[in-house]
């Protein structure tokens, strides 16, 4: 059993690092080995369980990605695409299953990795019913948008070749293993490779994440940047954004990752083992927005009430 977690970088890790250093510590260090209930101390086990908490928006996002994956795989395997009513019915059923699983806290404590516990239910949040209504409306909107996207227009062409669907990959950057997971990667008839990121929320700037994907594709598929297209599909409102990466863009993105890696490594006492400094070094960064949905608010005395 490794005493400390393996060192790596991902965009989600960088996002949490920006959000709150104490949360970052709990998630990446404090919870490590918490699945070993017969060996780990009580706090480690507790942090590990809290780390596994989900919430309605995360469950919804996962369901939408699974919906898109199912539809794309059907196309890739030459099967008829799933009908819109079937997709919506299935997503509602799975959302309800997540709710039902969350009713049994004891079963979740015994197997927190493989059972769902919604943080809204675990903490008794009064936003539960309002969020359920919001998610149900969003399911309808996203399902109805999928087949009208520019991406699906490409997929409808026989000349489009699907390369990757929801596949974890890694690349080395600044002597660090960097994780990338593209929702969809395909080659158009003109030879261009398109990177697709499905989004279920409001429009934001995801260019840094996409540029890392572009760096991976250029290296892995040996194609020039001019043949790589970056696209975000906003399923909630049926819009999309497209980007074209330049060498300067990639250099800036890679430099930014380097700064994150340097700052993250300043939080460890031993880089070889990835041993963190004392928890006091990971300064809490409380805010009403961040603390409201933080999985670790049960154990954090610095949270905003």
Summarised one tens digit per residue, pLDDT across range 76-108 is 999 999 999 999 999 999 999 999 999 999 999
Task: Please tell me the predicted confidence (pLDDT) of residue 223.
Answer: 96
CA 76 to chain centre: 24
Residues 6+ away with beta carbon under 8 Å from 198: 64, 65, 68, 183, 184, 233, 235
Task: Please tell me the predicted confidence (pLDDT) of residue 207.
Answer: 85
| Mean pLDDT (whole number) for 23-48 | 96
Summarised one tens digit per residue, pLDDT across range 180-218 is 999 999 999 999 999 999 999 888 878 889 999 999 999
Work out the angle between the directed axes of helices 11-19 and 207-221 (0-180°, nearest 10): 160
Q: Is residue 236's pLDDT more than 90? A: yes
Task: Please tell me the predicted confidence (pLDDT) of residue 63.
Answer: 96
| Mean pLDDT (whole number) for 33-46 | 95
Q: Is residue 3's pLDDT more than 80? A: yes
Summarised one tens digit per residue, pLDDT across range 254-281 is 999 999 999 999 999 999 999 999 999 9
Compute the distance between CA of residue 249 and CA of residue 237 in angstroms, rounded to an integer. Answer: 28
Task: Please tell me the predicted confidence (pLDDT) of residue 202.
Answer: 83
What pairs with residue 233 in β-bridges? 198, 240
Q: Is residue 59's pLDDT more than 80? A: yes
The pTM of this model reads 0.93
Task: Please tell me the predicted confidence (pLDDT) of residue 1.
Answer: 62
Q: How many CB atoms lie within 10 A of CB 195?
A: 26
Q: Average pLDDT of the chain?
A: 95
| Mean pLDDT (whole number) for 165-175 | 95
Beta carbons of 165 and 140 less than 8 angstroms apart:
no
């Amino acid at each position: 059993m490794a005493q400390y977690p393996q060192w790596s970088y991902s965009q989600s890790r960088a996002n949490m690092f920006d959000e709150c250093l104490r949360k970052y510590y709990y998630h990446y260090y404090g919870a490590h080995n918490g699945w070993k209930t017969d060996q780990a101390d009580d706090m480690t086990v507790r942090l590990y369980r809290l780390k596994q908490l989900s919430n309605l928006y995360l469950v919804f996002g996962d369901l939408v990605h699974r919906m898109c994956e199912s539809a794309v795989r059907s196309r890739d395997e030459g099967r008829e695409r799933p009908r819109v009513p079937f997709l919506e019915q299935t997503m509602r059923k799975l959302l309800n299953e997540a709710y039902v699983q969350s009713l049994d806290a004891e079963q979740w404590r015994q197997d927190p990795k493989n059972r769902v516990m919604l943080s809204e239910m675990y903490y008794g949040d009064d936003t539960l019913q309002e969020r359920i209504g919001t998610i149900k409306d969003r399911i309808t909107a996203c399902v109805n948008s999928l087949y009208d996207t520019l991406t699906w227009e490409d997929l409808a062409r026989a000349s489009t070749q699907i390369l990757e669907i929801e596949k974890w990959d890694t690349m080395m950057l600044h002597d660090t293993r960097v994780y990338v997971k593209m929702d969809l990667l395909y080659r158009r008839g003109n030879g261009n490779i398109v990177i697709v990121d499905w989004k279920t929320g409001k429009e934001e700037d995801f260019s840094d994440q996409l540029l890392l994907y572009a760096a991976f594709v250029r290296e892995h598929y040996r194609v020039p940047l001019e043949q790589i297209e970056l696209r975000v599909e906003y399923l909630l409102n049926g819009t999309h954004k497209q980007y074209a990466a330049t060498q300067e863009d990639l250099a800036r993105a890679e430099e930014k990752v380097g700064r994150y890696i340097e700052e993250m490594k300043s939080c460890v006492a031993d880089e070889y083992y990835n041993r963190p400094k004392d928890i006091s070094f990971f300064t809490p960064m409380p805010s009403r927005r961040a603390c409201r949905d933080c999985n670790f608010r049960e154990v954090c005395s610095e949270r905003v009430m």
